[in-house]
Amino acid sequence: MTQQTTDRHPLDDLTYDWVALIKNKSEALEAYDQYIKDAQAAGSKECADFFRKVHDADKAQLAEAKQHLLLVLQGKMGQGNA
């Protein structure tokens, strides 16, 4: 016997938002690695340094986002919890 549900998406909006943010930040980090290589190949230390700065900021935000997602999944954040 299969159970049917009217829920069209297995994740609530907040959980989905965190998963999407983590995915996007992860993809951005990969892109920044290429940007750094491109800047180095072009001989632009200033551009490479800036891309590293952006990369490091996103990497730190990604680590924080993973912690938020964990709390959401544990029911410790969201749904009226502060």
pLDDT at 10: 80
Q: Do 36 and 51 contact (CB within 8 A), yes or no?
A: yes
Angle, helix 45-73 to helix 13-41, in steps of 10 degrees: 160
Q: Do 59 and 30 contact (CB within 8 A), yes or no?
A: no
Q: What is the mean pLDDT of the chain?
A: 90
Task: Show me where the domains of the chain are located.
Answer: 13-73
pLDDT at 71: 96
User: What is the average per-residue pLDDT within 53-81?
Assistant: 92
Q: Is the pLDDT of residue 7 over 80?
A: no
Residue with tokens 């990369």: 55
Q: Is the pLDDT of residue 6 over 70?
A: no
For residue 64, give both structure tokens.
Answer: 């924080």
11-35: pLDDT as tens digits: 899 999 999 999 999 999 999 999 9
Residue 9 CA to residue 34 CA, distance in Å, equals 34
Nearest to 76 by CA among 11, 16, 14: 14
